[in-house]
Structure 1
Amino acid sequence: MEKKIFENLSKICKTINYIDDESDIIKYSKDWRRRVNEKALCVVFPKNENEISKILKFCFDNELKVIPQGGNTNLVASASPSKEKEEIIINLEKMNQIHHIDTINKCVVVDSGVVVDDLNSNLEKKDFLFPLEMASTGSSQVGGVISTNAGGINVLHYGSVRNNLLALDVVLSNGEILRLGSKVGKDNTGYNLKDLFCGSEGTLGIITKATLKIYPKSQNYFTFMASFENLKNIINFYEFISQQIRFPITGFEMIPQISFDLCIKHKFMKKSFFQETKNYYALVKIQLHHLDEAIIDLLEEKLSECSNLYSEIIIAQNEKQNKEFWKFREDLTEAQKLEGKLIGFDVSIPLDKLDYFFTEGKKYIDDILKDIKFHTFGHLGDCNIHYNLIEPDNLKNNFYDYEIKIKHVVNKLIKNVTGSISAEHGIGLLKRDDFLKTKKNLEIELMRSIKRVMDPKGILNQNKIFRN
């Protein structure tokens, strides 16, 4: 049976299988955090929408399970197999054409396999940008960031991917093709179907093409870092500048001291930017229409008005220093990966409840296991915190054996503060049980109903979001 499957798929497009090349199958099957170990039955590489339609028609008729996959940078195993050698990965890396950059309507039409950084390199030639900025954009593909409704550091000003999505082409599980939306921003003609696919993690259909908003690229930014004694001060600082500074704040990142420790330890940097060690730091980017001394003086004056809240402040004096600040922000995720096993939470917490969440979380988690390294950083401006727990040094037991107890504590606290268990990473395999425990039953059943309509045989990305 397997041989017949491989033969049929090979007639449509390039196909690799575990019999001929198991190492390649393992490479595409592994998730970024290396938490999932099942292997795909095979991986197919369609070059266009027509080939995807044929693949899905074949899989639908034969009730074969499929997994749509982009750059495979997802942190909750949304694009990895849930069962050993039962699922076919449809990898979209060959669908990488930028079809049209429309500077009049301020949008771009792209294939789903286009890498986000490659898109911005092309847009930059016309002084435009697509505002998604996060550590993985050198590998993340357009279809993947739409499927997970990715956020990143610019959400505060530009919104998430959903806010920047105008149109989609999607292939349904039976091979039918949908064309949803258009270049126009206003369209009140019934249900907004394209938004169903944004954030659906490939469980409703496979995105083949997208029309995205683009923005004139600003060359003028005021970037700075500041240090803080405690969490309360950094939150009050954000409240002050968001009210007092009238220019768009495009990024406000909260970073703990441990981020510097890890980046120095693992040789991403030689030393901290700051003279003194503090508990928290803010990395802030403000977009300016133009840059002159009067504007800089005004911003510095505003910052001096709240100097009682911070200990040190460092304003980027040139592009080199600006890049060093943001490189540090990108590197800290790689540094934490090198430090050891990690239990990660991508949560949204109301800012007025964040101190309570951190204090109570540490208290209860310390009772479960001492000396866990709390690496809690993220997009403070939009309430999105990456609440990452790194295993203690010299732990004899398997760190993941404590995960269920830790998740129980974190999920309970999230419900107490009416936050979200997933701010921007999605659900996938790793957060599925948390999702089912924290969402209301009626919401889950409505979602299941939509899934059944779009994917009646349940072949798309099984066991992601829901249990099949």
Structure 2
Amino acid sequence: MEGFLHEPRALFHGKALCVVQPGSVQDVAAVLALCHETATPVVPQGGNTGLVGGQNPSPDGGAIVLSLTRLRALREIDPASNTMTVEAGMVLTDVQAEASRANRLFPLSLGSEGSCTIGGNLATNAGGTNVIAYGNARDLLLGLEVVLADGRILSDLSKLKKNNTGYDLKNLFIGSEGTLGVITAAVLKLFPKPQSVETAFVGLASPRAALDLLGLARDMAGGEITSFELIPRLGLDFVLGHFDTRDVLAKKFPWYVLLELSSQSREGLDARLLALLEAGSARHIIEDAAIAASLEQRQNFWKLREFLPEAQTLEGGSIKHDVSVPIADIPIFLEEVFRAVSYAVPGARLVPFGHVGDGNIHCNISQPVGADRQAFLARWDEINAIVYEIVLAHKGSISAEHGIGQLKRDLLPKVKDKVAMDVMRAIKQTFDPKGILNPGKVL
């Protein structure tokens, strides 16, 4: 059972009575009915890639782990309605591949897509690199099949975009981290497959310049912007130092943006990207830029972004923050975090990166060079408090896309509206009166 009991960063390690791997929604219903009858806690789990401990059991060992990985069937693809119906255990890359075989795009994309499952993506309302164009997982869903705590199956696998028949129940389960029900299948939105993609790696002087570039890109490219990722030079150096990658631009710059445009037209996108970069240069927003001339170059650009989290781990202790602030506040937010953290931990290395287009910055802090890793990580709560205070001052969120799980459960009541917390507890009591579904998570 070991692989089911801890998460990728090894921050949480639990025990379990057993791991149950049902092969159908009827199996899931039977398991939950029995657990409800016996008041046995159930911890739903997908690909076990979550970073806040929401998918792992507690150390007391009194729960079962309910793994959904055998529920991986493609039930239907409907190109006319641009939908696909899949089971919760299907790995995200397989969802993307099945959509592609039907000449469609399922745009959810994140670093763990080779092992995370669509059920887990929905249960945590996953984000990723394409949110600027397509939204979070919630925005990619039309219908849902969920097994409730007592074993009843709530079946709402609707393909309809317009359906005003009372409460929209499916949205209660998106982002609930398995605390209200167990997602077993979903109807997902599909999109036309892009006929052309253009990717640029842009050198910038500051996050303020990145924000100016985003505004210019929106004016000139609009809905064709599919990714806009901020990368600091320090993070780039981490990646270049630990992986077989290569620098893109001839000179070094303090900040970079990985910009990608996609279009349904086969022609003209390259010219629009070039015009955008030329305009950015003329307005002294851009220091330098390179456009990927081949698939290999594009893949190298993306490696520089995708390897960032692992490169940080290889650099020693890293205290991580998945936060969001209003897009306009990103530059001043980063300045304030840098000053406050540098004062508290002289020599700490700030490595903020992520999705500028939706305000989600992974504001990670690496240990000073030569510092003791464990001594640095022992200050996790202290550094969290510093960063979260600044986040809240900017009316941001302490969890942009990773969820609450165990990691932020005790912090949630301190930052969320009291009435909202009361409503959440009431919903939990209604759906799970015995408290067997993923206890100790979120609430």
Deviation at 1:375, TM superposition (A): 1.4
Question: Which residue pairs with 1:464 in the alignment?
Answer: 441
CA distance in 2, matches of 1:99, 1:122: 11
Question: Which of 66, 79, 83 is the matching residue for 2:42?
Answer: 66
Question: Which residue pairs with 1:274 in the alignment?
Answer: 249
Question: Which of 193, 213, 222 is the matching residue for 2:189?
Answer: 213
Question: Which residue pairs with 1:302 in the alignment?
Answer: 276
Deviation at 1:291, TM superposition (A): 3.3
Question: Which residue pairs with 2:103 in the alignment?
Answer: 127
Give 1:126's aligned amino acid.
A
Q: Is the 8 A contact 2:157 2:186 kept in 1?
A: no
- The answer to which of 141-150 and 302-311 deviates more is 302-311
Question: Which of 256, 261, 266 is the matching residue for 1:291?
Answer: 266
Kindly provide the CA deviation profile for residues 420-461 of structure 1, in whole angstroms up to 9, marking residues without a partner as x: 111111111111122221101110110010000000011111
CA distance in 2, matches of 1:126, 1:303: 34
Give 1:52's aligned amino acid.
V
Give 2:243's aligned amino acid.
K
Q: Is the 8 A contact 2:40 2:63 kept in 1?
A: yes
CA distance in 1, matches of 2:425, 2:211: 38
Deviation at 1:181, TM superposition (A): 5.0
CA distance in 2, matches of 1:176, 1:340: 47
Deviation at 1:411, TM superposition (A): 1.6
Kindly provide the CA deviation profile for residues 157-183 of structure 1, in whole angstroms up to 9, marking residues without a partner as x: 111111111111101111111012511
* TM-aligned CA distance change 1:40 to 1:338, over 3 Å: farther
Q: Is the 8 A contact 2:130 2:226 kept in 1?
A: yes
Task: Specify the SS of the correspondent of 1:433.
Answer: coil
- Structure 1 segment 143-292 matched on structure 2, within 5 A: 143-180=119-156, 182-269=158-245, 271-292=246-267
- The answer to which of 328-337 and 162-171 deviates more is 328-337
CA distance in 2, matches of 1:313, 1:231: 16
* TM-aligned CA distance change 1:452 to 1:335, over 3 Å: same
Task: Specify the SS of the correspondent of 1:212.
Answer: strand
Task: Specify the SS of the correspondent of 2:379.
Answer: helix
- The answer to which of 359-368 and 395-404 deviates more is 395-404
Question: Which residue pairs with 1:7 in the alignment?
Answer: none
Q: Is the 8 A contact 2:129 2:229 kept in 1?
A: yes
Structure 1 gap ranges (5+): 1-24
- Structure 1 segment 90-129 matched on structure 2, within 5 A: 90-129=66-105
CA distance in 1, matches of 2:97, 2:222: 29
Deviation at 1:297, TM superposition (A): 3.0
- Corresponding pairs, count: 440
Task: Specify the SS of the correspondent of 1:386.
Answer: strand
Question: Which residue pairs with 2:21 in the alignment?
Answer: 45
Question: Which residue pairs with 1:13 in the alignment?
Answer: none
Question: Which residue pairs with 2:113 in the alignment?
Answer: 137
Deviation at 1:125, TM superposition (A): 1.5
Q: Does 1:388 align with 2:364?
A: yes
Q: Does 1:408 align with 2:385?
A: yes
Question: Which of 9, 12, 15 is the matching residue for 1:33?
Answer: 9
Kindly provide the CA deviation profile for residues 13-46 of structure 1, in whole angstroms up to 9, marking residues without a partner as x: xxxxxxxxxxxx2211111111012222221111
Task: Specify the SS of the correspondent of 1:423.
Answer: coil
Task: Specify the SS of the correspondent of 1:411.
Answer: helix
Q: Is the 8 A contact 2:192 2:264 kept in 1?
A: no
TM, length-normalised to structure 2: 0.96
Q: Is the 8 A contact 2:277 2:286 kept in 1?
A: no
CA distance in 1, matches of 2:36, 2:422: 23
CA distance in 2, matches of 1:412, 1:275: 39
CA distance in 2, matches of 1:327, 1:359: 27
CA distance in 1, matches of 2:344, 2:410: 20
Q: Is the 8 A contact 1:82 1:429 kept in 2?
A: no
- Structure 1 segment 319-330 matched on structure 2, within 5 A: 319-330=295-306
CA distance in 2, matches of 1:352, 1:128: 34
Question: Which residue pairs with 1:16 in the alignment?
Answer: none
- Structure 1 segment 374-385 matched on structure 2, within 5 A: 374-385=350-361
Task: Specify the SS of the correspondent of 1:225.
Answer: strand
Kindly provide the CA deviation profile for residues 232-280 of structure 1, in whole angstroms up to 9, marking residues without a partner as x: 11111111111122451011111111222111221241x3111111111
CA distance in 1, matches of 2:233, 2:255: 6
* TM-aligned CA distance change 1:153 to 1:295, over 3 Å: closer
Q: Extract structure 1 runs of 4+ deviating beyond 4 A.
A: none
Q: Does 1:346 align with 2:322?
A: yes
Question: Which residue pairs with 2:399 in the alignment?
Answer: 422
Task: Specify the SS of the correspondent of 2:320.
Answer: strand
Task: Specify the SS of the correspondent of 1:275.
Answer: coil
CA distance in 2, matches of 1:246, 1:229: 24
Seq. identity, %: 36
Give 1:71's aligned amino acid.
G
Deviation at 1:399, TM superposition (A): 2.3
Task: Specify the SS of the correspondent of 2:184.
Answer: strand
Kindly provide the CA deviation profile for residues 119-147 of structure 1, in whole angstroms up to 9, marking residues without a partner as x: 11122122112110111110010100000
Q: Is the 8 A contact 2:148 2:180 kept in 1?
A: yes
Deviation at 1:74, TM superposition (A): 0.7
Give 1:305's aligned amino acid.
A
Question: Which residue pairs with 1:451 in the alignment?
Answer: 428
CA distance in 2, matches of 1:83, 1:368: 33
Kindly provide the CA deviation profile for residues 395-416 of structure 1, in whole angstroms up to 9, marking residues without a partner as x: 2352232122112111211111
Question: Which residue pairs with 1:313 in the alignment?
Answer: 289
CA distance in 1, matches of 2:276, 2:365: 36
Q: Is the 8 A contact 2:32 2:149 kept in 1?
A: yes
Give 1:297's aligned amino acid.
A
CA distance in 1, matches of 2:227, 2:376: 33
Task: Specify the SS of the correspondent of 1:208.
Answer: strand
Give 2:341's aligned amino acid.
I
CA distance in 2, matches of 1:84, 1:337: 29
Question: Which of 375, 380, 385 is the matching residue for 1:398?
Answer: 375
